Structure formats: structure tokens, C-alpha cells
Structure 1
């Protein structure tokens, strides 16, 4: 009985397309996409899917990172948009230094910039074994 209840809870949580974060709050994929559009001024292809998400857990100065799968056809349109954002700003090391899944392969396009004072955004389009992934880091 416990196993059935646990399975039902897991299925229910995944069907809501929410990712639970350490601070106890959750962000839907739509909320993450909206934050990317606002902070990185980058609209993700509708065919991309969020496969990883992590939140820094801070209420003040929040930070988060996400990884999206990107279809090969969307890569051609996305790469120049990312490159145009690059301002060659360096991070002091944020949440991504602790994430086991933050391991971009061959970098196709990369940008690091400050959309506002005291904030940092990094975007990496990576090829990994014939697949494409978009890594995003947002530090406030």
C-alpha cells in the first residue's frame, strides 16, 4: 500500500512539471522559461525540454541553474542569439560549481553577461554525443 501511494505521489508531481528545489518552493518549466526570457533576454525553442534544475536555496540573492535538451534543428537559430549576448563577464563561482550534471561537452556558443548591476547570467549551448543541451545559470 505504501509503495502504491508513493508511486502515485511521484507520478502526480512529475505530471505537474514542477521541480522541487531545496528551499521547499518549486518552479515550473514555464516559470524557468519566463525567467530566462526576462533575465537573459533569450526565448527558448518551444521544442526544448528542461531536464535538470537546481536552486541555490537563498531567499535573498537567489540563484538557479537549468539544463534543457535542444533539438538539432533549433541549434542553428539559437547559437547566434547566444553569441550576441556575450559580454565576457566572469562569475566568482556560483551554484554550478556544486552540480554534478553541469558538465557541458563541446561548446557551440557561450555567453556571460550582467543584465543588471549585481546580477550574472551564463548561457552555454553544448554538443554531447550528437545531442544538444542548453545550460543556464542565473545569479542575482
Structure 2
């Protein structure tokens, strides 16, 4: 590790910022009858995206599927979810190849105020108007 390393100047540079990012944040509201109401919507945000190994073809007995991941460095508070919030879903590349689920999000030690979020490919056919698959609403 490099103590004191701060790369916020690079991460804040518009040449590195990706403006095609969208997040679907979902608030969960438990009801007295044990069901949960989910309310959410798409929001635009910016960050620096790094593909993690590209998209891999996975061949299973049930059929073929794509697997992949990206890492996002952003000031937007991405979340893996909890009792009051579902894991955030990400669209990258103007609705491009699919949606990603945030599977790990933590403060990043090399950029003050930045979150480092690992996102796994979740849906290969996203919709601009409909909530992503797995939406509880």
C-alpha cells in the first residue's frame, strides 16, 4: 500500500468521468402483515468505470449465460442494500449490455469521499422504463 496516496484529481477529471451511468435505488418499507413495499427509480450519476475481466460466456446444462463485472469509483453512495434498501442496480453505457448489481461497496482509501463498488452482471436485456429484474414492487 502507498500511504497518503490520493487520486481524487484524476477521478474528478472530466476526461475520466463516465456520464452514462444510471442507478436504480430501491427503498424497502416493511408492512405489519409481513410484506414489503418497494419504491424506487432511476437516477443519473458519474463515476470512473473499470471492467473486471470483461464478459465471459458460461455454458451450463440449462443453456448459455453471460457473466461479468465492473468496478465503479464514484462519490454517489452506492449500496449493497440492507433492511431498508435493496442492492443498487446499475446501467452502464446508455442502457448498453445489461444491468449490474452492486455486490460490494466500501469507502475507497485513495480518493477522499469516493466509494469503490464491485458490480456483477445481472440482466442482459435491460429496459429503459421498467424496473430491473428482481425488483420487489
TM norm structure 2: 0.26
Identify which of structures 1 and 2 has the higher relative contact order when contacts are C-alpha pairs closer than 8 Å and 6+ apart.
2
TM norm structure 1: 0.25
